[in-house]
């Protein structure tokens, strides 16, 4: 199993749950409300369906996201953050707040 038990350290644990570069960005989108597969794909320029599916499934396993499929034509699937997932809002906000306070790093090519 990929996840026998989460690390004791909260930070390490967080990193285990939101491992890839895309994971956090997907959550960011979901924080704006429920989204369909294609909506997420469109909102994340460059992401492949493979990666999106992979991350979404992992989130489901961890109880961060719920997947709701509607037996309609055309098929519709909605991804929504769980209460646990919603809790990530504060974390993402902290990230953004910090990151925006960092000055653009000195370009080593330009003066």
Residues that bind DNA (CB under 7 A): 19-23, 36-39, 46-51, 53-57, 67, 69, 74-77, 79
The answer to whether 37 and 7 are in contact (CB under 8 A) is no
Task: Determine the interface stretch with a second copy among 34-42, 48-56, 69-77, 89-97 (rule: CB under 8 A).
Answer: 89-97
Other beta carbons within 10 angstroms of residue 58's beta carbon come to: 19
58: phi then psi, degrees, rounded to nearest 5? -65, -40
The answer to whether 60 and 67 are in contact (CB under 8 A) is yes
- Provide, rounded to whole angstroms, the least separation between the CB of residue 5 and DNA: 16
- Provide, rounded to whole angstroms, the least separation between the CB of residue 33 and a second copy: 16
Closer of 9 and 77 to a second copy (Cβ): 9
Q: What one-character-per-residue DSSP string does 68-104 give?
A: EEE--SS-EEEEEE-HHHHTHHHHHHHHHHHHHTSPP
Report which secondary-structure segment, H or E, holds 36.
strand 35-36
Rule CB under 8 A: say whether 74 interacts with a second copy. no
Rule CB under 8 A: say whether 69 interacts with a second copy. no
- Provide, rounded to whole angstroms, the least separation between the CB of residue 94 and DNA: 20
Residue selected from 54, 71, 90, 111 as contacting a second copy according to rule CB under 8 A: 90
């Amino acid at each position: 199993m990929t996840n026998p038990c989460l690390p004791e350290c909260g930070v390490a644990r967080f990193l285990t749950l939101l491992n890839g570069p895309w994971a956090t960005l997907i959550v960011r989108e979901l924080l704006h409300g429920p989204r369909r597969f294609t909506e997420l794909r469109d909102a994340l320029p460059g992401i492949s369906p493979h990666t999106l599916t992979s991350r979404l499934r992992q989130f489901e396993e961890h109880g961060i996201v719920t997947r709701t499929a509607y037996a309609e034509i055309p098929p519709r699937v909605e991804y929504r953050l769980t209460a646990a997932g919603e809790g990530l809002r504060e974390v993402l906000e902290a990230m953004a707040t910090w990151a925006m306070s960092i000055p653009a790093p000195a370009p080593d090519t330009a003066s």
